[in-house]
Amino acid sequence: MVGDVLKSELPFFDLCVANLPYQISSPFVFKLLLHRPFFRCAVLMFQREFAMRLVAKPGDKLYCRLSINTQLLARVDHLMKVGKNNFRPPPKVESSVVRIEPKNPPPPINFQEWDGLVRIAFIRKNKTLSAAFKSNAVQLLLEKNYRIHCSLHNIEIPENFSIAEKIEKILTDLEFTEKRARSMDIDDFIRLLHGFNVEGIHFS
């Protein structure tokens, strides 16, 4: 492909092999993963730390929103390290090659809503979920979304309604108040998203 890959329409392809500018690593990965029809496999070279974030597991130091979002949509494997001395002139960073295979079919989840939840949880991944959802900005957003949901479904909201109390009850019922994003896996977040959605709280 010739041109700006982030702005270009991707053609049908089965395999993707690329060593791309490291500053576009994240948007390129998600452009690939949200591309349809599905491709079979991508083999890509990234800055080492970015690559290790892609494959990080719950509890790992580098585990983050990037890790869980990528692993929701694909199987990701670290293939090999590439030292900076393999390049001329040598860059300042080490590199790694990873293989990405999209999950086909993908999980039946609205990715924008999923990402909205994960974004809140990973703002401070070492905080408990109870603390993360006490943010005024988060509560204002979720209350706005809840009121829209109720309006669309003709649900009456009590005068003494408290979004903070509703959120806390959801977390308590799921036994997630003391959970921290750093140690939560995909199944945990699916349960959490479902628990909020059942109560009419959405993230997009």
96 within 8 A of 48, measured Cβ to Cβ = yes
Tokens of 187: 């199944």
- What residues form the annotated binding site? 1, 4, 19
The pairing of strands 95-102 and 74-82 is antiparallel
Sign for the CA dihedral angle at 88, 90, 93, 95 comes to positive
Tokens of 118: 């994960």
- What residues form the annotated binding site for S-adenosyl-L-methionine? 1, 4, 19
176 within 8 A of 116, measured Cβ to Cβ = no
Cβ neighbour number for residue 126 with a 10 Å cutoff: 11
Radius of gyration of the chain (CA): 20
Cα distance from N-terminal residue to C-terminal residue, the chain: 33
Q: Given the structure tokens 């408290």, which residue do they identify?
A: 162
